[in-house]
Amino acid sequence: MLAFLYQRIRNNILLFVMLLCGAILASAIVSCIPMYSNAIFQRLLIKDLEQMQKDTTKYPGTYSVEMIGKSREEYQKVDKIMYSKYASQISLPIKDKTAVIITDPFNIEEERKTKTWRKSVISSIAAFKNIEEHITLLHGRLPENNSQNDVYEVIVSQNAAKNLDLILNNTHILTKTVSYSETKTIAKVKVVGIFTYKDKADAFWDEDNYRNLDDRIVMLESDVERITENRELLKIYSMKWMYFYDYYELKSENIKKIISTIYEQRLTARVNLNLLGVVEEYLSRQKDLSITLWILTLPFIVIICFFTLMISGLIVKNDENEISVLKSRGAGTFQIFFLYIIQSLIMAGIAFIIGPILGKSICRIMGASNGFMELVSRKSLPIRITAEIYQFSLLAAAIFVVFVLIPAFRACRTSIVQYKRKKNTENKQAIWEKFFLDIVVLLISVYGLYKFSDRQNVLQKTGASGQELQIDPILYMISTLFVIGIGLLFLRLYPYLINCIYQLGKNRWNSVLYYSLINTRRIESNARFIMLFIILSISFGVLSSNQARTINQNLEDKIRYETGADIVLYPYSRVVLDSPMSPAKSFIPPPDPVALRNYKPEVLEYDEVPYREYQNLDGIEGITRVFEEEKSIVKGNSVDLEEVKVLGIVPHEFAKLAWFRNDLLPFHINKYMNVMTQSPNAALLSKDMQEKFDLGDSISIQWGKNKENTLLCRVHGFINYFPTYNPYPDNNVTFASEELNGVKWKTKSLVVVNFSTLQSKLPGIRYNIWIEKKPGVTDGTINDQL
Amino acid sequence: MADNKNLVVECDNLVKIYKAKDLEVVALQGLDLSVEKGELTAIIGKSGSGKSTLLNIIAGLERPSAGKVFVDGKDLLKFTDKELKEFNRSSIGFVWQNTARNIIPYLTAQQNVEVPMMITGHKSRSAWAKELLQMVGLGNKRNSRLGELSGGEQQRVAIAISLANSPRLVLADEPTGSVDGRTAHNILEVFSRLNKELGITVVIVTHDMRISKMVNRVISISDGMIGSELFKTDCLSHNIDNSDIQSFISKTHDEFAIVDRKGRMRIPEELMTKMNIKGGQKLTIHENDRGFEVFVDSLSK
Ligand SMILES: Nc1ncnc2c1ncn2[C@@H]1O[C@H](COP(=O)(O)OP(=O)(O)O)[C@@H](O)[C@H]1O
Ligand SMILES: [Mg+2]
């Protein structure tokens, strides 16, 4: 049997290798997607957690289990199983741990009243395991365990000393109010040390712990046990075990497990993990990204499926005779099919193992290339092959097996006699042809396209922008469907088309043409498959490269839009900002445009180089002055707007050199510029101000501390877009899925006024210089002259 | 019907109609045939006369449109698909004219012979395959592939393959169709030896009259019916000119007209011309002391 199989494979080695390649590629691509998204998410995850630590001062890796109001024995019991039953379930390395015991509150009084009046202070005892490693003693020493002594030694934090009014080396009495008139003494304590936190950034000083010590006295754990022996007087209020995990080791694939563990543990105890919230929100984002990536990969998968079907079809066709030989010798359908199963399992097995490894390389290339993926990550990604990846690989292999076996199954079922008959009656209709799947797919995609343009209009109206991936997955999917539909439809019509040509000149064709026409009229189903495959791969190739170009173009446009011109100079400090992108070069990793824009020189020293000298620079096509102020106040009759961006421009110069796509505004930008030129007091307002101001309204614009910086203007028009103007400056939306649906971003308003008007009113006004280079001139040449 | 234990094949009034698009082809029209155990039978007939169809039906590869087939006393039409497979596997050995039909090209002769045994799930395949190849005279070519064998050798491998599962019945559909006369002779010798030595029932389809000299019984089919049967004449001189096969056959065999179950009789064409009779001719049958005699009615001439 194996020898037979070996001979079979050897005989068909070329097709077999091709099929194997298809299998490996399928597995590679399929496993590549989760690998890639995991890598991106790994990075984002850590960043998010770092951000969380910064924002909340809570250490994200803090895990705590709290018990309240239980007996001491119970605490001890839980303490024993804490690590094995709770902490060790979270699959993260433990950096540090502690356990905090807190007692019920009591009053603290001085033993010998030094002051005539002293406010009654309520506090409680806290015992921290390992606290000594995380504090610095300012005064005194650490408490010592001398159980004979009935004065307990305690230390307090600097804050607590202040809050509780405790003095070093003083002895205090802890009392409990039993009734209105009666208080009982619990114990005596002596403050032997005052400490401060060694390193507040230390995970140990999680916000809660740190707060805990602001109004508590710290005792040794053994002392706490001793002092709470008499439950009547003082009880343990709560015990909290804390583990500080190294969250940098958090792997995105473990998140689900961790979340479910926490929820499981919550059934039996008060368990908390600080990073839980972040991480939960995270999963949904991960899903979104994965979906996007899957959709982007859809064409590849479709092509690979077709490829597999095609090659498998060829192999089976090659084998048809052999199948009939075996059949005529009485081999059962399954017996023959079994050969194919084994054969495909061998291939799938190889693909299953090799696929992810190849996928890893693909991911590397994707991550390192300057394509659109660059946006998401610039450093090399933490790409890892995990068990989950092998699940995907397995899935791909399984699908591959199915696709290989479809033609094999069909062939195995036909008997030898049917086979002979089939040879006579060629050209049966394929399934898709019978059920008009091509038409169905086409209709779906056309409908989708229609819906999509609807949605696009809505998006346009809401003015979505931001750092999106700029691929709409739905559009991509629709396009893919459309391509498949058209491909199939073409195949359906192809014979008629040929027939038509044939009929047209039946009597005119020469014999060669005649013969080939007749031949092509009846194409075999396998040949049709190859045609379909070619149609699909070419169209997907075109589609993808188009997509890449669009993404690139959009990025480029965006950077240009945000920068405004080839070169923007800030002459007052002589900081030269080179344009981030030379036009016409594609796929140069774009520097972060926002960062560029926001770069403001520290010293706003006006460098008195006359504007004329800039005008005399070599290699410039156009030059203009632009006044830019991000934070001004616009006042109308009844409304004030703050943080409005003001652009002062010289319209006729500006129009010539500013980068601007003309399809962004209802009229050509020159029309707006003409209006500005004609009326020096004209102002163009961003669309969002339309609700507040009318055309013809007078507005005053004010900026800086100096009240003199005021300009009166008249509203002459509203604009959605303008060079450098981004209504959503503060959100860095990373993924398309995070569209602005439902989220209200704070928008920024814009006012465009005449620079000359500004300057005549305020002669010493600062301005930037926008320069357009002559074609072929590099940024360097201009830089050198400066 | 099936009570005669000695009958390996029994066909009764077989009808096979092929439907291709708009036209129907009647391949067999009411054919009766019985083959006894250990018989070596040849079926001859013009191309398209329905020989292959008949063989396919006997092999269980095709079902007749009407009529009955018994092989080894078992009614093929009552078989389930599974039983049919099993029957096909173990009771029938098939040799096709086309070598590609018989042999998987990339396997050696030995491996090819082992394939049917593999399908059936036999153990100790290798030894039996070796023996079979020895039997057909290819003991030294066990490890050759299709390309390394001559046409005749290929057919002999095919015979070995057909014998792999020790079938009761070997059916050969024009096994000598694509080889020259001498080789055809060799192949037939193999068949007749197997028939004699192993006692296997063999039915050989051919349109080659030369074959028949080796064969006891020759059945001639025309238009999907048995035309006539020829039996070897016992007293025979063998020094005959091979070129005139027609005359050769008629000299080695006695030709009989066959009456079917419904009493219809066919007269071979050659006889018709010889007797100078046409369709619609009236015949009279007279009884005499030796039995019955058929006379051409001279009145209607
Ligand atoms: N699968 C088939 N479909 C349609 N007609 C067939 C098929 N097989 C055989 N026939 C027709 O049946 C008749 C008998 O064919 P066959 O048994 O192959 O003849 P032979 O083997 O004697 O040359 C022929 O006319 C042939 O065209
Ligand atoms: Mg035939």
Comparison of pLDDT for B245 and A158, the residue scoring more: A158
How far is A390 from B180, CA to CA, in rounded Å? 60
Instruction: Quickly count: other Cβ atoms within 10 Å of residue A410's Cβ.
Output: 11
Tell whether A259 and A327 lie within a shared domain. Answer: no
pLDDT digits (tens, 9 = 90+) for A603-618: 344 455 677 777 877 7
Pocket test for ligand 1, best of A421, A422, A425 (most atoms within 8 A of CB): A421
| Banded pLDDT at A490 (limits 50, 70, 90) | confident
Cα-based angle A724, A725, A726 (whole degrees, multiple of 5): 115
The answer as to whether A572 is a domain residue is no
Q: What is the pLDDT of residues B61-94, one digit of tens each?
A: 888 999 999 998 888 888 888 888 888 888 889 8
How would residue A345 be classed by pLDDT, with cut points 50, 70 and 90? very high
pLDDT recorded at residue A731? 43
Q: Is the pLDDT of residue A191 over 70?
A: yes
Q: Is the CB of B46 under 6 A from ligand 1?
A: no
Nearest to A330 among B56, B88, B103 (CB): B88
User: What pLDDT sits at residue A567?
Assistant: 78
Highest mean pLDDT among A132-146, A205-219, A461-475: A132-146
pLDDT tens figures, B161-196: 999 888 889 999 888 877 777 888 888 888 888 888
Of chain A, the end-to-end C-alpha distance in Å amounts to 82
Using CA atoms, how far apart are residues A697 and A711, in angstroms rounded to an integer?
14
Instruction: Give B199 Cα–ligand 2 centroid separation in angstroms.
Output: 26
Owner of token pair 């709290």: A66
In a domain? residue B17: no
In tens, the pLDDT along A237-257 reads 888 888 988 888 888 778 888
Distance A70 CA to ligand 2 centre (A): 96
Residue nearest to atom 16 of ligand 1 (CA): B50
**Among A425, A443, A458, residue at a domain's last position:** A425
**Position B2 in a domain:** no
Q: Has residue A130 been placed in a domain?
A: yes
Mean pLDDT on A79-91: 85
What is the percentage of chain A residues whose pLDDT exceeds 70?
Answer: 82
A656: how many CB neighbours lie within 10 A of its CB? Answer: 15
* pLDDT tops 70 at residue A375: no
Q: Is the distance from CB of A119 to CB of A261 less than 8 angstroms?
A: no
Residues whose CB is less than 8 angstroms from the CB of residue A650 and which lie 6 or more positions away in sequence, other chains included: A624, A625, A626, A754, A755, A756
Predicted pLDDT at A86? 84
0.90 exceeded by pTM: no
Interface test with B, best of A324, A328, A415 (most B CBs within 10 A): A328
| Secondary structure class of A128 (helix, strand, coil) | strand
What does the alpha-carbon distance between residue A301 and residue A306 come to, in Å, rounded to a whole number? 9
For residue A574, what pLDDT band results from cuts at 50, 70 and 90?
very low
Same domain, yes or no, for A523 and A383? no
How many domains are contained in chain A?
Answer: 4
- CB B285 near ligand 1, within 6 Å: no
Whether the predicted pLDDT of A275 surpasses 70 = yes
Residues B253 and B287 in one domain: no
Contact between B106 and A3 using a beta-carbon 8 Å cutoff: no
CB B266 within 8 A of CB B227: yes
> Of the given ranges (A450-459, A492-501, A532-541), which has the lowest mean pLDDT?
A450-459
* Higher-pLDDT residue of A669, A591: A669
Ligand 1 atom 18, closest CA? B52
Let me know whether B150 and B242 are in one domain. Answer: yes
Tell me if chain A has a CB within 8 Å of the CB of B17: no
Is residue B21 in some structural domain? no
Q: Which amino acid, residue A653? A: E
CATH at B61: 3.40.50.300
- Alpha helix segments (H runs only) across A425-472: 431-434, 437-462
- CB within 8 Å: A328 and B104: no
A421 lines ligand 1 (CB under 6 A): yes
pLDDT at A580 over 60: no
Query: Is there a contact between A326 and B103 if contact means CB atoms under 8 Å apart?
Result: no
| CB < 8 Å to A322, chain B | 104
3-class secondary-structure state, position A478: helix
Cβ(B23) – ligand 1 distance below 6 Å: no
Please enumerate in sequence order all residues whose Cβ is within 8 A of that of A7, keeping only pairs 6 or more positions apart, or say none: B106, B107, B111
- For residue B300, what are the domain limits? 267-301
Q: Do B94 and A329 touch (CB under 8 A)?
A: yes
Give how far the C-alpha of residue B276 lies from the chain's centroid of Cα atoms, to the nearest Å.
Answer: 31
Looking at chain B, the whole-number percentage of residues with pLDDT higher than 70 is 87
Backbone dihedral angles phi then psi of residue A722, each to the nearest 5 degrees: -160, 150
Task: Measure the CA–CA gap between A207 and A553, rounded to whole angstroms.
Answer: 47
Atom 26 (ligand 1) nearest CA: B48
Look at residues A769, A781, A776, A735 and name the one whose alpha carbon lies nearest to residue A373.
A735
Instruction: Identify whether the C-beta of residue A358 lies closer than 8 Å to the C-beta of residue A406.
Output: no
pLDDT for A600 beyond 70: no
What is the number of domains present in chain B? 2
Q: Are residues B108 and B120 in the same domain?
A: yes
Same domain, A243 and A155: yes
- Measure in Å the smallest separation between the Cα of B122 and chain A Cα atoms: 12
Judged against a pLDDT cut of 50, whether residue B146 lies above it is answered with yes
Cβ of B51 closer than 6 Å to ligand 1, yes or no, is: yes
Whether residues B155 and B277 share a domain: the answer is: no
CB A713 within 8 A of CB A753: yes
User: What value does the mean pLDDT take over residues A386-412?
Assistant: 86
Residues B218 and B291 in one domain: no
Q: Is A330 within 8 Å of B104 when comparing Cβ atoms?
A: no
Q: Is the pLDDT of residue A745 over 50?
A: no
Task: Return the pLDDT at B170.
Answer: 92
Flag whether B7 is in a domain: no
Do A306 and A250 fall into the same domain? no
Contact partners, residue A392, CB within 8 Å, separation at least 6: A30, A31, A33, A34, A356
Q: Is residue A593 part of a domain?
A: no
- DSSP string spanning chain B? -TT-TTEEEEEEEEEEEEEETTEEEEEEEEEEEEEETT-EEEEEE-TTSSHHHHHHHHHTSS--SEEEEEETTEEGGG--HHHHHHHHHHTEEEE-SSHHHH--TTSBHHHHHHHHHHHHT-SSHHHHHHHHHHHTT-GGGTT-BGGGS-HHHHHHHHHHHHTTT--SEEEEESTTTTS-HHHHHHHHHHHHHHHHHH--EEEEEES-GGGGGG-SEEEEEETTEEEEEEEE-SS------TT-HHHHHHHHEEEEEEE-TTS-EE--HHHHHHHT--TT--EEEEEETTEEEEEE-GGG-
Residue A568 falls within a domain, yes or no? Answer: no
Is the CB of residue B52 below 6 angstroms from any atom belonging to ligand 1? yes
pLDDT for B133 equals 92
Q: Is the CB of B299 under 6 A from ligand 1?
A: no
Alpha carbon of A521: minimum distance to chain B alpha carbons (Å): 20
Instruction: Give, as one character, the DSSP assignment of residue A269.
Output: S
Using CA atoms, how far residue B178 sits from A329, B184, B253, in Å, is 21, 9, 25
Percent of chain B with pLDDT over 90: 8
Q: What is the DSSP string of A291-344?
A: HHHHHHHHHHHHHHHHHHHHHHHHHHHHHHHHHHHHHHTT--HHHHHHHHHHHH
Give the residue, A450 or A705, on which the prediction is more confident. Answer: A450
Instruction: Give A498 or B37, the one with higher predicted confidence.
Output: B37
Question: Average model confidence (pLDDT) for chain A?
Answer: 77
- Contact with chain A for residue B251, Cβ under 8 A: no
Q: Is residue B235 within 6 Å of ligand 1 at its C-beta?
A: no
Q: What's the one-letter identity of residue A683?
A: A
Query: Could you tell me what percent of chain A has a pLDDT over 90?
Result: 3
**Claim to verify: residue A106 and residue A232 sit in the same structural domain:** yes
Q: What integer pLDDT is reported at residue A651 of this predicted model?
A: 87
Do A304 and A225 share a structural domain?
A: no
pLDDT at A329: 80
pLDDT for B39 beyond 80: yes
Residues of B in contact with A330 (CB under 8 A): 85-90, 92, 116, 119-120, 165
What residues in A contact B115, CB-CB < 8 Å? 4, 326, 329
Residue A148 maps to a domain: yes
Q: Same structural domain for residues B289 and B245?
A: no
Kindly indicate the confidence band of residue B160, based on its pLDDT and cuts at 50, 70 and 90: very high
Closest CA to B230 of B250, B194, B252, B255: B255
Alpha-carbon span A153 to A146, nearest angstrom: 9
On the question of pLDDT at A589 being above 60, the answer is no
Residue nearest to atom 7 of ligand 1 (CA): B18
B240 or B64: which carries more pLDDT confidence? Answer: B64
Beta-carbon neighbour count of residue A88 at 10 Å? 11
**CB atoms B61 and A328 under 8 Å:** yes
Question: Based on the domain organization, do A209 and A145 belong to the same domain?
Answer: yes
- The ligand minimizing its distance to the Cα of B21 is 1
- Higher-scoring residue by pLDDT: A644, B250: A644
Question: Do the domain assignments include residue B138?
Answer: yes
Q: Are residues B208 and B287 in the same domain?
A: no
pLDDT at A348: 92
Asked if residue B25 has its Cβ within 6 Å of ligand 1, the reply is yes
pLDDT value at B300 more than 90: no
A417 → closest Cβ in B56, B86, B87:
B56
pLDDT band at A350 (very low <50, low <70, confident <90, very high): very high
Query: Band of the pLDDT at A593, cuts 50, 70, 90?
Result: very low
Whose Cα sits closest to atom 21 in ligand 1?
B52
In a domain, A590, yes or no: no
Ligand 2 centroid – CA B55 distance (Å): 9
Residue where a domain stops, chosen among A232, A259, A283:
A283
Q: A332: which chain B residues are within 8 Å (Cβ-Cβ)?
A: 85, 119
Same domain, A408 and A507: no
- Predicted local distance difference test score (pLDDT) of residue A358: 92
Same domain for A499 and A459, yes or no, is yes
Is there a single domain that holds both residue B82 and residue B113?
A: yes
Residue to substitute from B23, B55, B76, B85, interface A, most A β-carbons within 10 A: B85
Q: How many CB atoms lie within 10 A of CB A132?
A: 14
Which range has the worst mean pLDDT, A410-419, A647-656, B16-25, B30-39?
A410-419
pLDDT top residue among B75 and A535: B75
Closest CA to B36 of B254, B243, B213, B195: B195
State whether B112 and B205 are in the same domain: yes
Lowest-pLDDT choice from A465-469, A663-667, A723-727: A465-469
Do residue A366 and residue A253 come from a single domain?
Answer: no
Domain that holds residue A491: 427-563
Round to whole Å and give the CA distance between B66 and A172. 116
State the closest ligand 1 atom to the C-alpha of B174, by its place in the atom list counted from 1: 21
Task: Identify whether B27 is part of a domain.
Answer: no
List all residues 6 or more positions away from A167 whose beta carbon is below 8 Å from its beta carbon. Answer: A161, A191
Among A528, A563, A598, give the residue marking a domain's end: A563
Gap between the Cα atoms of A131 and B292, Å rounded: 129
Q: Hey, how many other C-beta atoms are within 10 angstroms of the C-beta on A42?
A: 18
Kindly state whether B104 is in contact with chain A, defined as any CB-CB distance less than 8 angstroms. yes
Q: Is A703 helix (H, G, I), strand (E, B) or coil?
A: strand
Residue B18 in domain: no
Give the Å distance between the CA of B262 and the centre of ligand 2.
27
Q: Are B193 and B212 in contact (CB under 8 A)?
A: no
Give the gap in angstroms from C-alpha A509 to the nearest C-alpha of chain B. 30
| Residue A322 Cα, gap to closest chain B Cα (Å) | 6
Q: Are A322 and A201 in the same domain?
A: no
Total residue length of chain B: 301
Task: Assess whether pLDDT exceeds 50 at residue A52.
Answer: yes
Are A301 and A166 in a shared domain?
Answer: no
Whether B106 contacts chain A with CB within 8 A: yes
In a 3-state reduction of DSSP, which class is residue A604?
coil
- The predicted model gives B198-207 an average pLDDT of 87
Same domain membership, residue B152 and residue B262? yes
Are the C-beta atoms of B91 and B162 separated by less than 8 Å? no
A230 within domain boundaries: yes
Whether the per-residue pLDDT at B287 is higher than 50: the answer is yes
Cα–Cα distance for residue pair A153/A523, rounded to 1 Å: 97
Count of beta carbons in the 10 Å neighbourhood of residue B259: 12
Is the CB of residue A188 less than 8 Å from the CB of residue A244?
A: no
The answer to whether the Cβ–Cβ distance between A329 and B96 falls below 8 Å is no
Are B128 and B122 spatial neighbours (Cβ–Cβ below 8 Å)? yes
In a domain, B101, yes or no: yes
Nearest CA to ligand 1 atom 6: B18
Residue bearing the bigger pLDDT, A199 or A786 = A199
Of B17, B21, B24, B25, the residue with max ligand 1 atoms within 8 A of its CB, to mutate for a pocket test, comes to B25
Tell me: do B124 and B242 sit in the same domain. yes
Top pLDDT among B225 and A292 is at B225
Atom number of ligand 1 nearest to Cα B51 = 22
Q: Looking at the domain assignment, is residue A456 inside a domain?
A: yes
User: Are B58 and B204 found together in one domain?
Assistant: yes
Rounded to the nearest angstrom, the minimum Cα separation between A318 and chain B is: 12
